[in-house]
């Protein structure tokens, strides 16, 4: 493996976060690796529209988002060959094929189905001497994954193998590898609370609903103001949602137990400082927490990928959920105070033993084993 390109899509940050984690690990192993927005090959304007549209619908019209996912899952033809969506996507195939040929890449990795669909068509039209791979970033098999004709399908866990086979993916190409997350989620800090200015004697609840700060956090914080015991603290990370940050800052003003943070690079440190993590069940978020062996509480999932993610970890016994948001706040406080309940959830995560996705993918594609951060043949 001499030169790698990762094709991602900016429809939510999960696919890009996965791509960044893989790039970081490959570069750590001295393998040149770049990331490109796959939809730019259709047109930069289309890529921006899809990024904006996904964010807008997910944040403001979750019911429409749910319907769209379920409809495409139940009616594969809506995205399949011959559909308008498919025709639009593959209009970028020639430009992608030319870019790959000019760049001299020997490995192409896709972190989104759309990227894989364009790549597959590009290589049918213009075969190139490259190895190809698709990385799933949720605990399910996406609609039309079978249209990504690649050499390897890296999936989150062994339990999903039969699901992929049932969708027409060749069993011999499926590799349970885990979802890649950044290296900082595999390290730990024993004095995280002190570093963040939190009371080391208090249990800590971390709340975060993705980089866009979605979810009913206002209702949850209103309930926590009344329910959170004096011997506990809570921090809510709002991500890039400045409006939410301002609203929650006003709501929590004067309460020393509640802290509001905007966008931060210190999420791994906040996880180390926490006893429970309240989050939306995005594939990257839950994998980051699993790597930290941090028990989770799930806010209302958007049907589709998030529902599958939530089911996977709640059935495992590593997470809880409740509805409406006020009930979730109550359950979170109960578990925060119940050391035995949290210990059972931690033990479930230890038994699951979240695999290091970036490392497993590197080893599979390079044919090398990695020991202590270095490669050995």
Per-residue three-class SS string for the chain: CCCEEEEECCCCCHHHHHHHHHHHHHHHCCCCEEEEEHHHHCCHHHHHHHHHHHHHHHHHCHHHHHHHHHHHHHCHHHCCCCCHHHHHHHCCHHHHHHHHHHHCCCEEEECCHHHHHHHHHHHHHCCCCCEEEEECCCCCCCCCHHHCCCCEEEECCHHHHHHHHHCCCCHHHEEECCCCCCHHHCCCCCCHHHHHCCCCCCEEEEEECCCCCCCCHHHHHHHHHHHCCCCEEEEEECCCCHHHHHHHHHHHCCCCCEEEECCCCCHHHHHHCCCEEEECCCHHHHHHHHHCCCCEEECCCCCCHHHHHHHHHHHHCCEEECCCHHHHHHHHHHHHHCHHHHHHHHHHHHHHCCCCHHHHHHHHHHCCEEECCEEEC
Q: Is the pTM above the cut of 0.85?
A: yes
Task: Give the pLDDT score at 105.
Answer: 97
Task: Give the pLDDT score at 377.
Answer: 33
Task: Give the pLDDT score at 295.
Answer: 98
pLDDT, tens digit (0-9, with 9 covering 90-100), for 53-67: 767 776 667 676 666
Q: How far from chain centre, in Å, is Cα 164?
A: 19
Task: Give the pLDDT score at 57.
Answer: 72
Do residues 300 and 289 lie in contact, with contact meaning Cβ atoms separated by under 8 Å?
Answer: no
Give me the residues of the chain with pLDDT under 70, please: 54, 58-60, 62, 64-67, 69, 71, 210-215, 301-303, 369-377
Q: What angle do CA 341, 347, 353 make, to 5 degrees?
A: 145
Task: Give the pLDDT score at 199.
Answer: 94
Q: What are phi and psi of 337, to 5 degrees?
A: -90, -10
Write down how long the chain is: 377
Angle separating helix axes 339-352 and 325-337, nearest 10 degrees: 90
Regarding beta strands 152-155 and 174-176, do their DSSP bridges make them parallel or antiparallel, or are they unpaired?
Answer: parallel
Task: Give the pLDDT score at 72.
Answer: 74
Give burial (CB, 10 Å; 0-12/13-18/19+) of 251: middle
Task: Give the pLDDT score at 214.
Answer: 57
| Domains, the chain, ordered by start | 4-178+355-369 (3.40.50.2000), 185-352 (3.40.50.2000)
Task: Give the pLDDT score at 301.
Answer: 65
Task: Give the pLDDT score at 372.
Answer: 47
The tokens describing 359, both together, are 């490392």
Task: Give the pLDDT score at 374.
Answer: 42
């Amino acid at each position: 493996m001499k030169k790698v390109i990762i094709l991602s899509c900016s429809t939510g940050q999960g696919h890009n976060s996965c791509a960044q984690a893989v790039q970081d690990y490959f570069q750590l192993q001295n393998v040149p690796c770049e990331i490109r927005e796959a939809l730019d090959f259709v047109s930069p304007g289309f890529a921006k529209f899809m990024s904006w549209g996904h964010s807008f619908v997910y944040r403001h019209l979750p019911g429409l988002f749910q319907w769209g996912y379920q409809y495409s899952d139940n009616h594969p033809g809506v995205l399949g060959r011959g559909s308008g969506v498919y025709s639009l996507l593959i209009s970028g195939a020639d430009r992608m094929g030319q870019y790959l040929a000019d760049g001299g890449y020997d490995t192409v990795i896709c972190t989104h189905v759309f990227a894989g669909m364009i790549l597959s068509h590009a290589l049918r039209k213009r075969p190139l001497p490259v190895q190809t791979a698709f990385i799933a970033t949720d605990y399910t098999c996406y609609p039309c994954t079978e249209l990504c004709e690649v050499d390897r399908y890296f999936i989150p866990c062994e339990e999903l193998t039969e699901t992929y086979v049932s969708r027409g993916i060749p069993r011999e190409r499926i590799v349970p590898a885990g979802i890649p997350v950044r290296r900082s989620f595999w390290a730990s800090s024993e004095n995280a609370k002190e570093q963040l200015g939190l009371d080391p004697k208090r249990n800590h609840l971390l709340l975060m609903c993705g980089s866009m700060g979605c979810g009913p956090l206002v209702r949850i914080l209103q309930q926590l103001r009344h329910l959170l015991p004096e011997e506990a603290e809570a921090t809510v990370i709002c991500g890039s949602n400045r409006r939410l940050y301002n609203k929650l800052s006003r709501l929590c003003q004067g309460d020393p137990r509640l802290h509001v943070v905007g966008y931060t690079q210190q999420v791994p440190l906040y996880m180390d400082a926490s006893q429970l993590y309240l989050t939306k069940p995005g594939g990257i978020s839950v994998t980051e927490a699993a790597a930290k062996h941090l028990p989770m509480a799930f806010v209302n999932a958007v049907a589709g990928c998030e529902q599958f993610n939530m089911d996977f970890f709640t059935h495992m016994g590593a997470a809880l959920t409740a509805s409406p948001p006020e009930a979730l706040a109550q359950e979170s406080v109960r578990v925060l105070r119940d050391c035995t309940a949290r210990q059972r959830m931690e033990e479930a995560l230890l038994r699951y033993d979240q695999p290091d996705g970036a490392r497993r993918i590197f080893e599979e594609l390079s044919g090398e084993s990695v020991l202590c951060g270095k490669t050995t043949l």
